[in-house]
Structure 1
């Protein structure tokens, strides 16, 4: 028999701060109230709609851990006769992920408790969410007691978790620690190390605090090789008042690299390049600068990667930094026919663990297999970077998803791993579909599709792009249409200019946008004229009532034609309405000749004005462009695929960064 060694996979942790918004992610006081099985609900649309609404409803009673009960990073006090469940995001054991992707087939759980009369009960769940009691043990006397449970991973092929509950006796109890371990081959006993690659631009305090979080965690320190900070802004992280403490703690492990603003892809690619050139770390971990990190998640990601069957990209999840118990997404895919990223089809986004706990949410128990993981937190083995290359030079958008698809085609899977996470601003709070980022959304999505779409001519890509152009035209968003049009022109020019234009495209786009009224933001609403209209709403109805599905279909057919009508003269001097961001969908925007629209982040407003002449010109060019794109797709895909290896090579990136290639 080959020699083995005991390896720590996961330990019980409690929050680093005493923000009660995160407590449900660590310890749960609520009961489990499992929602209905979708196979029991059936295919009736009404029944499915009711069930989907029920799944979203809160089952929480409001019971909560008191901050004083947290005694240390690993120890919590349980009050007399109180029950704590550790079947939570950070403390349940994601058995199905270990079963599917790693060499581990058995684990051992050790729970150390104190308090006569306390009981420890181990549970497991299956992929359909049903839980089963596995084993229990009781504390019979005072003093610390460690219970050991040997657990197999065989039943978890499709999903499921292990967790433990602790119920205190009459005198209360303390849960001192818990550890999940496994016997692994001796050559896998030592943990790997990771470089952390942080791209930052004008978020000095946020970034400096993140460096401090990484530096201050003693458990994490042995796993860190180098923390690379790619400084691309005009407000350097080194000038933050929070920087010196983290820099001193990290010492030589911290490297701040100053370079031009090359976007997220340029920043991450620099970190990837430095990591590969240095060659001392097992992994390179991409991390955003504006996150709050759970350092234990980095340790877990490294551990999972160490024990994976093959080199595996290990991603973390993203929680909402403003509502910290809310999970943005549990796993993302690229829908192949539309070629658009989305939450997996049987999952949910914006899930609030404080409202409905893990044990009550059936869908969370099925293993979520993904195509990629966002680079807000994503651990990439150095071997993968060496074999498939670095990020594409896309500035922002689609660099992480394209890399995941490229890795998958090369045989390197991505796992979005439960228990590894950061808190970040959710995408829903941003305006990146209609500001300068619209250019990069459009161009980079098509670049990725040309490289990886399994369908001839990208499936629905060209048709959907055309439909979106019409929608933006009908919504009076002419700057967006022009940017998306420019994106397709640059796409058709081929992959050869991606590196060349990486540092110049954003200034070019920003200068281009200035000519459009709808792209000019006003922080003060009073900079724009007041609302005036000749005709009041028909029968006093609200302009923002939610339309029926029939009304939406009719609107989609008639809206493009309405844009050809002459504009109402008064609308040139006064907006006809004001719309909040939540009401500014195309179904409302198409009603007006001019309208003031709020931005999603609540920081400013813009004036949209209908222009029939511009509409005709843009519509004509949009038709011509999409016909050309459809016609040239096959040859264009060949060009991009042939150029890929060179474009993502360390040599190409070294030239872009202006550094010598060793």
Structure 2
């Protein structure tokens, strides 16, 4: 019988916390004083110039210089302490801030409440080499609030040598993690993150192994830097080759290996194309160790192409519409800390409770995996949301922890609702709704799914609708074929791309016939229409599908539409249009095909009528199958490996 290895004792990061204390969070700064991310580590004073905080002022990973007469605030994303999260979820009742400085100045401690109101808590004058400590209770943080501190330098300046937030030691063991990376032909990103892990000794102190599941043809092991990094990592690195089973297949393998290995208390799901902030792994591991019960702990996502922009701060599933949503009405995607720092953003001070965390960075206790199973076999899309909802139903919550994050290309620069990914969005959303919707017939799930088909049809996106129709057929076929079709659907969907103009891209507009329209039209830039206008335009768009093509539309596009204007209420005006894709790498010629549209519309209506009529039967079938299709045994057959002992908890 495989058993877990004994839990390690105190870690090197706890040495500065003192006897009876455990480090919850260390104050950190960007490597090489990276100006693109500096605002995430230091809240620069209003109107501060780059000359006031120069990259050379960042003296190391934990140290910064404050120039004479200047003030720097650690009320920043990575260095403010999210006290309300620690109060809500962990056994800790207070934190101790320890600040080590050199030179003359002052240390001032602040707190906020859930409304974002700020209050000065304490301050101390310092001179020479000084260690200042502040014991700070969690009493007032029921709904939200943070702690942070400012540094004010005297006439000769001062240096922050280091600072940390600690909590009282408890009987909770010190857990360790496996990092689970799934990759498909992003070997360069994987090697880059492997180098970050190899260089960080503190992270490696909590690491059992980094597992890279390579499902591509451009292999991680073929990268020039890999052999040297592999030698440095030693037994802490394992690369597994397997067929392309998508993100869910790769992450299921990560979960499986961590759970059956008997070494790790947690596995951290990591996307392959992220830029890692390694301290985040230490933070979510420590937080998970101190949670009252086993908890999934996730990190937030910053925009890799605009690094001061926070793309997501927490995610829920709208239970009636059954689509991802933001937990709070004041939240929005794309918050830029370079423009509005944490201290000035009131909605970030209220604690955000979530349903799930994206698997760009999410810690899952192996105990939970053994109990509720592995990922759904759904290739991509909704696997992370479904897993979070499944864990929540079993009594295991997810926390998206501020101060833990990675950088990833945001969804703003992608459009995965069209093309081959539409199949997975459609099918997997319906599956997750069948499994977890609190409403007898899924609320608005089915109606909105049919409306989405209509929007794509009036937008002349026939390849997208072909994939969505296949998704509906596969859903109706039941859950027991999900493993069988896991490696099949993507190549089949890609093979159909050549049959449709809207999925055939060319790099330049000059490769198409000239734009010509008898009555030129301009794109309608309404933003999102009001409900009444949307109903009106939707009626017009559907009615237009039953009219003959306007003269010349089949041979010449009538307009050129930029991706930002590629909305159904705009595209539906035309019989043909050149449309730029989300990445800006190609252009497709959308052409209206009335007979194809009507045929697809009939099938869509028929499929959705069946799904709605059979919703109770389908729900029962998928819920009964869930333990079976997410089991270790089912995934072992899909992986093509021999069954292994899952081990036991000690």
**What does 1:266-345 align with in structure 2 at a 5 Å threshold?**
266-345=249-328
SS of residue matched to 2:334: strand
Structure 2 equivalent of residue 637 of structure 1:
619
Contact 2:389 2:436 in 1 (8 A): yes
Contact kept? 2:32, 2:55, Cα under 8 Å? no
Distance 1:312 1:645 in 2: 20
Shift of 1:182: 1.3
Q: SS in structure 1 opposite 2:42?
A: coil
* Alignment-derived partner of residue 39 in structure 2: 24
Alignment pair present for 1:622 and 2:604: yes
* Counterpart pick for 2:570 among 588, 592, 598: 588
Aligned residues: 623
Any stretches of 5+ residues in structure 1 without a counterpart?
32-58
Contact 2:523 2:565 in 1 (8 A): no
- What's the offset of the Cα at 1:219? 1.1
- SS of alignment partner, residue 33 of structure 2: coil
C-alpha spacing 1:155/1:545, structure 2 compared with 1 (3 Å): closer
The answer to which of 434-443 and 4-13 deviates more is 4-13
Map of 2:541 onto structure 1 = 559
Specify the alignment match of 1:527 in structure 2.
Answer: 511
Residues 60 and 355, structure 1, Cα contact 8 Å, conserved in 2: no
Task: Show CA shifts across 1:202-246 (max 9, x none).
Answer: 111111101111111111111110110000111001111232332
1:150 partnered with 2:135: yes
TM-score, length basis structure 1: 0.92
Q: 1:543 aligns with which of 512, 523, 534?
A: 523
Residue 404 to residue 63, structure 1, CA distance change in 2 (3 Å): farther
Map 1:372-383 → 2, pairs under 5 A:
372-383=356-367
Q: Which residue of 2 aligns with 1:258?
A: 241
Tell me which of 337, 353, 373 is aligned to 1:353: 337
Contact 2:68/2:154, CA 8 A, preserved across alignment: yes
The aligned residue for residue 570 of structure 1 is 552
Q: Deviations over 1:101-146 (max 9, x none)?
A: 0000011111011112x0000000000100111100001x3x2100
1:63-78 equivalence runs, <5 A:
65-78=53-66
Measure how far apart 1:329 and its partner are.
1.1
CA distance in 2, matches of 1:73, 1:623: 58
1:85–1:546 Cα change, 3 Å? same
| C-alpha spacing 1:171/1:64, structure 2 compared with 1 (3 Å) | closer
Greater displacement, 637-646 / 472-481: 472-481
Describe the SS at the equivalent of 2:454. helix
Residues 491 and 17 of structure 1: CA distance in aligned 2, closer, same or farther (over 3 Å): farther
* Cα shift at 1:536: 3.0
Deviation, 1:409, is 0.4
Equivalent residues of 2:52, 2:67 under 8 A apart? no
Number of the residue aligned with 1:661:
643
CA distance in 1, matches of 2:23, 2:549: 69
- 1:528 shift after superposition: 1.7
SS of residue matched to 1:419: strand
* CA positional deviation for 1:526: 2.6
TM-score, structure 2 normalization: 0.94
* C-alpha separation in 2, matches of 1:29 and 1:615: 55
Deviation at 1:61, TM superposition (A): 7.4
RMSD: 1.4
Counterpart of 1:168 (choices 153, 158, 169) is 153
CA contact (8 A) 1:216 1:249 kept: no
Other structure's SS at 1:71 match: strand
| Structure 2, unpaired ranges of 5+ | 1-18, 645-650
In structure 1, C-alpha distance between the alignment counterparts of 2:362 and 2:32, rounded to whole Å = 24
Deviation, 1:551, is 4.4
| Separation (CA, whole Å) in 1 of partners of 2:52 and 2:627 | 53
Q: Matched residue of 2:60: which SS?
A: coil
Q: Distance in 2 between matches of 1:562 and 1:202?
A: 43
CA distance in 1: counterparts of 2:337 and 2:486, whole angstroms: 40
Query: Which whole-Å CA distance do the structure 1 matches of 2:335 and 2:125 have between them?
Result: 35
Q: Give the 3-state SS of the residue equivalent to 2:496 in structure 1.
A: helix
Deviation per residue, 1:4-37 (Å, 9 max, x gap):
9311111111112332010010011225xxxxxx
Match of 1:389 in 2: 373
The answer (yes or no) to whether the contact 1:212–1:245 under 8 Å persists in 2 is: no
Q: 1:175 to 1:287 in 2, by over 3 A?
A: same
Write the distance in 1 (CA, Å) between the matches of 2:502 and 2:56: 52
After the TM superposition, which residues 359-374 of structure 1 pair with which residues of structure 2 at under 5 Å, given as runs?
359-374=343-358
8 A contact 1:127–1:158 mirrored in 2 = yes
Once the 2 structures are TM-superposed, how far is the Cα of residue 62 of structure 1 from its aligned partner?
7.1
* Matched residue SS, 1:500: helix
2:168 to 159, 174, 183: 183
Residue 53 (structure 1) aligns with: none
